[in-house]
Copies of this chain bind each other. A is one copy, B any other.
């Protein structure tokens, strides 16, 4: 079999894989790649294959043991080698990439620590630094409740200020107020940041965040008044112990309230730092969304890698022009149509995810430094929401399409695909349910449009400069000569068309909130259009600035064009109804898409190789780099044992006896 994939790889320019890996998919180039490979080798040299790889069918405890062993090794390496903070982050990412295992300890790194850094005062941070550094603390982020996920303002948990004790009492007053879902809460974490309503002198001051110890640091048993437990088996992601917590008047010191933007004095005087927006509280979720964008892209690119390689190896069905020959599945137009747009979507999401992350980091740093600039925060928020929504929709749909594209074998766990479907499914509801997030995007876009209408275009963030062209006519359509600027202009024109439609619809309502709530289908669509536009814009910007060889650039241009044309076709009725495209464009785009599929077909295997997944990371019998899929499938089947006695003892024998008696 190996020969097949070797032949496939020979179809592309020899340096295509490297250039894509370094300049396109690894934002940051050769240097970052070198760090990545060095750090990966540190991990791989110390851990065995069996240790780092998730094993399908293992029970939860075995899986959790493996996770903790791997991630303990990661932290030990960070200590041993004295890695920098950036290197430490990268090493943790690598561990996740190559194991495919999610560690509950990542909630500590990704949510708990950043939350402390963003919302707690410098004094608080200084006081706690050593407990974090020494691994005395292992934290989690406790927000969602049994009855309250999307509407955070309705959280019921209370933090009542007890002046005489200089403390808060954390309490779960109702069934629906039980904290439910936080990752690492069930078993792993011993401390957390909790969101609760601040009550001072009987006055409800709204939701604030507090540091709360959950378990004894030495014995790991829950503290008095705190009931902790797991919420049960999930679709996927079962190595992370999502849990519940119920609080029975648990006291914490006053100084455990997050004090960077709000303060409460000893005698109960509450103050808000001037200009601080309530939304700042949710900065941790904002950050998480940008990681979820990249995560969506990575998961989708894994699925695309598996499906493309297997479709190159797999032969099935007679060639109609030469019936004695079986076809490579990847040579079917329909298979290209299923898989290659997923490949292009992976590129688009990863590219945008990498680029937007620095945008988000800028916003986060501003907040960490105490800035309260509402404009940047709102735009970051709206962009994160829209792109998280669109990227997670694309990746969940795309992974399932890749799974189907592997036929029956894609239903086997050892294909790796069911686990990707199940793992990834959480992205559409976690850190903001997609339809809820859309409303936030719409609100921001409408406000910015109003600002633009009022002549305040210049004051808008650069990323929204496209408002300048509200009234510019769409260029003449020529399907044979489409540049990246043309595609960007088309998606921009469509976005503006839908935005203006939303604006005029909204005019009939007394408030923006009511207008959006009465038109949620349109609002969600608008948010998706914004997400699509951002992906097109970021990909186009990369094409204009990334120095790669012309023969490789031509292939990447086609990946971009395939992404755009596929999206045009999906939303064709929009483009037609808005007059962005003439009626004939529908069939022209179909023809164009087929032409691009044909041009990209020879490079498909190299284009997925460039995602850089090792066989360990893919963990798939179908997606192996060497293409020896049938041997791998049979080896896995032979190693799999199940029990024939059950059917015989429980069914066949008793039933036969009965039939014999019936006959007598």
Interface residues of A (CB under 8 A from B): 56-57, 59-61, 64-65, 68-69, 71-72, 75-76, 79, 104-105, 133-136, 138, 144, 146-151, 153-154, 175-176, 178, 180-181, 186-188, 190, 220, 229-235, 237, 241, 244, 315-321, 326, 332-335, 337-338, 396, 400, 403-404, 407-408, 410-414, 417-418, 421-422, 425-426, 428-430, 433-436, 438, 511, 513-514, 516-521, 523-524, 569, 572-573, 576-577, 583, 586-587, 590, 594, 630-631, 633-634, 636-638, 640-648, 650-652, 654-656, 658-660, 662-663
Contact = CB atoms under 8 A, between A and B. Distances in A.
B235 A413 contact: yes
Copies in the complex: 2
A338 B136 CA distance: 46
A647 B151 contact: no
A316 B150 contact: yes
A59 B60 CA distance: 11
A295 to B, nearest CB: 15
B146 A220 contact: no
A636 B232 contact: yes
Contact of A76 (B231, B573, B658): B658
A79 B658 contact: yes
B647 A320 contact: no
A587 B583 contact: no
A104 B514 contact: no
Contacts of A133: 659
A520 B436 CA distance: 38
Given A76-B655, A644-B187, A57 B233 contact: yes
A333 B520 CA distance: 6
Given A181-B408, A573-B573, A640 B229 contact: yes
B422 A229 contact: no
A338 B433 CA distance: 13
B332 A220 contact: no
Given A135-B652, A408-B430, A521 B333 contact: yes
With most chain B CB atoms within 10 A of its CB, the pick from A318, A569, A634 is A634
Contacts of A577: 576, 583, 586-587
Contacts of A640: 229-233
B316 A134 contact: no
Contacts of A638: 229
B404 A428 contact: yes
B320 A511 contact: yes
Contact of A65 (B176, B407, B569, B650): B650
A656 B135 contact: yes
B663 A71 contact: no
With most chain B CB atoms within 10 A of its CB, the pick from A516, A641, A652 is A652
Contact of A435 (B334, B520, B573, B646): B334
Contacts of A411: 234-235, 237, 425-426, 429
Contacts of A517: 319-321, 332-333
A510 to B, nearest CB: 8
B320 A413 contact: no
Contacts of A641: 229-230
A426 B409 CA distance: 10
A148 B656 contact: no
Contacts of A186: 642, 644
Contact of A403 (B72, B318, B425): B425
A375 B116 CA distance: 73
Contacts of A147: 315, 630
Contact of A232 (B57, B244, B520, B652): B57
A363 to B, nearest CB: 25
